[in-house]
Amino acid sequence: MRLVSDLFDPEPARWGLRGDPWVWRAMNEYVAGLALPPSVGEVERLLKATFDRVVGIDLATESAPWVYREEFAHGGLSSGSVHLETWRSELLPTLIDRARSQLSG
């Protein structure tokens, strides 16, 4: 059985801000044990909803380029900062592309 959490391995080499890897890991934990939905559209909806739940904002409507979340602060200058633009343009698309590969293969 393919799991949604399989999409999170490996972690990206680049992040937007220091909170991003912690969000990645929290999302991975949130979907642990969930079967990969049968369509890319369903995976995309699930991942966006998971991000919204983990970070506490609606990525589709939030206009700020980044948000601060105390739970993702683990040291460093931008610690706890989540770069929403990187999630929109790189990180979520990476997960969706991985799902597309899993579902077509």
Biggest CA pair distance of the chain:
41
Per-residue pLDDT of the chain in tens (105 residues, 90 and over written 9)? 899 999 999 999 999 999 999 999 999 999 999 999 999 999 999 999 999 999 999 999 999 999 999 898 877 667 889 999 999 999 999 999 999 999 997
The pTM score is 0.93
Cα 104 to Cα 95: distance, rounded to the nearest angstrom = 14
Query: Strand, helix or coil at 27?
Result: helix
Q: What pLDDT does 38 receive?
A: 96
Q: What pLDDT does 49 receive?
A: 98
Q: What pLDDT does 75 receive?
A: 72
Q: What pLDDT does 99 receive?
A: 98
Cα 49 to Cα 58: distance, rounded to the nearest angstrom = 8
Q: What pLDDT does 11 receive?
A: 98
For the stretch 29-33, contacts whose Cβ atoms lie closer than 8 Å and that sit 24 or more positions apart, written own/partner, are 30/54, 31/3, 31/4, 31/5, 32/3, 32/5, 33/3, 33/5
Q: Which residue has the tokens 């799991």?
A: 3
